[in-house]
């Protein structure tokens, strides 16, 4: 669920009504002086909630005891191996290099996979601590859209699938991810997230260019 300003305003207004109701039950008529005192407390709390969702959740001093969520933001270079078998050779296709752009807040997560032929986006996701107590697991459902000129060729049609990602390394900001996925067209595969940059790219070409430039520097 995306937690936005409208939700905060609704909660503040509802809290104000409940607070005024309790004052009334105690025989106190709410006045503007009461309202100013209420706003003086609730206003900063609402701002803190927004700051926590957007800016504070990935701070190390909050991680582990208050926030249990890995910082996956950025663009990852991914090695993807699919089970798809080439009808011409009768062998699985070789691994491909692709990129995963991840945008994240405390309440939202979007993973955007970019390959030379298609793009995938999460439509639902869940993050939980790993059973081992080290790292996290991300489960998601995604939709894949091949580029328009490739649809209806081979097995390149719009499809949906599920992905299961495991983090490795530092609990807060992992340096590697591994994943398995399954699709509704009968294929599956695995992914190794090898390295990342902070910038979130939205096109395969831009991400590829950035990693090539970084490798040369």
Flag whether pLDDT at 69 surpasses 90: yes
Query: Tens digit of pLDDT for each residue in 173-183?
Result: 999 999 999 99
Q: Could you count the other beta carbons within 10 Å of the beta carbon of residue 207?
A: 24
Residue 131 reports pLDDT greater than 80:
yes
Is the pLDDT at 154 greater than 60? The verdict is: no
Residue 66 lies in a domain: no
- Please check whether residues 86 and 52 belong to one and the same domain: no
pLDDT, tens digit, 9 for 90 and up, residues 102-124: 999 999 999 999 999 999 999 99
Whichever domain contains 150, its CATH number is 2.40.128
What pLDDT score was predicted for residue 85?
82
Q: Are residues 37 and 87 in the same domain?
A: no
Higher pLDDT, 19 or 171: 171
Please check whether residues 26 and 130 belong to one and the same domain.
no
Same domain? 146 vs 98: yes
Into how many domains does the chain fold? 2
- Whether residues 31 and 129 share a domain: the answer is no
In this prediction the pTM is 0.84
Dihedrals phi, psi of 38, to nearest 5 degrees: -65, -45
Based on the domain organization, do 78 and 116 belong to the same domain?
A: yes
Residue 67 within any structural domain of the chain: no
Q: How far apart are CA 18 and CA 14, in angstroms?
A: 6
68 occurs within a structural domain: no
Is 196 contained in some domain?
yes
DSSP the chain: ----HHHHHHHHHHHHHHHHHHHHHTT----HHHHHHHHHHHHHHHHHHHHIIIIITT-GGGBTTTB------EEEEEEEEE-PBPTTTSSBPPPEEEEEEEEE-SS-EEEEEE-SSEEEEEEEEEEEE-TTSSSEEEEEEEEEEE-GGGTTBTTBS-EEEEEEEEEESSSSS-SEEEEEEEETTS-EEEEEEEEEESS--SSHHHHHHHHHHHHH-
Tell me the average pLDDT across 1-12: 65
* Residue 33, domain member (yes or no): yes
Residues 189 and 126 in one domain: yes
Q: Tell whether 94 and 190 lie within a shared domain.
A: yes
* 133 and 30 inside one domain: no
Range of the domain at 28: 5-56
| Same domain, residue pair 38 and 94 | no
Mean pLDDT of all residues belonging to the chain: 88
Q: Are residues 46 and 94 in the same domain?
A: no
User: Does residue 65 lie within any of the structural domains?
Assistant: no
User: Quick one: 78 and 42 in the same domain?
Assistant: no
Within a domain: 64: no
Q: What percent of the chain has pLDDT over 70?
A: 92
Task: Please give the pLDDT value at position 16.
Answer: 77
Domain annotation covers residue 63: no
The pLDDT, as a whole number, for residue 150 is 72
Percent of the chain with pLDDT over 90: 57
Residue 205 pLDDT greater than 90, yes or no = yes
């Amino acid at each position: 669920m995306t937690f936005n300003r409208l939700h905060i305003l609704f909660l503040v207004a509802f809290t104000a009504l409940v607070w005024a109701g309790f004052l009334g039950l105690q025989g106190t008529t709410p006045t503007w002086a009461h309202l100013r005192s209420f706003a003086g407390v609730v206003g900063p709390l609402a701002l803190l909630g927004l700051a926590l969702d957007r800016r504070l959740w990935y701070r190390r001093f909050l991680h582990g005891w208050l926030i249990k969520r890995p910082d996956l933001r950025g663009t990852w270079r991914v090695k993807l191996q699919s089970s798809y078998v080439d009808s011409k050779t009768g062998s699985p296709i070789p691994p491909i290099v692709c990129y995963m752009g991840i945008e994240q807040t405390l309440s939202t997560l979007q993973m955007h996979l970019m390959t030379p032929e298609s793009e995938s986006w999460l439509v639902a996701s869940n993050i939980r601590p790993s059973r081992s107590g080290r790292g996290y697991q991300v489960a998601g459902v995604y939709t894949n859209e091949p580029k328009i000129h490739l649809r209806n060729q081979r097995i390149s049609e719009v499809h949906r699938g599920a992905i299961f990602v495991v983090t490795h390394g530092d609990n807060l900001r992992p340096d590697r991810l591994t994943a398995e996925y399954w699709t509704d067209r009968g294929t599956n595969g695995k992914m190794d997230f090898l390295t990342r940059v902070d910038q979130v790219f939205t096109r395969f070409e831009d991400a590829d260019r950035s990693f090539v430039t970084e490798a040369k520097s």
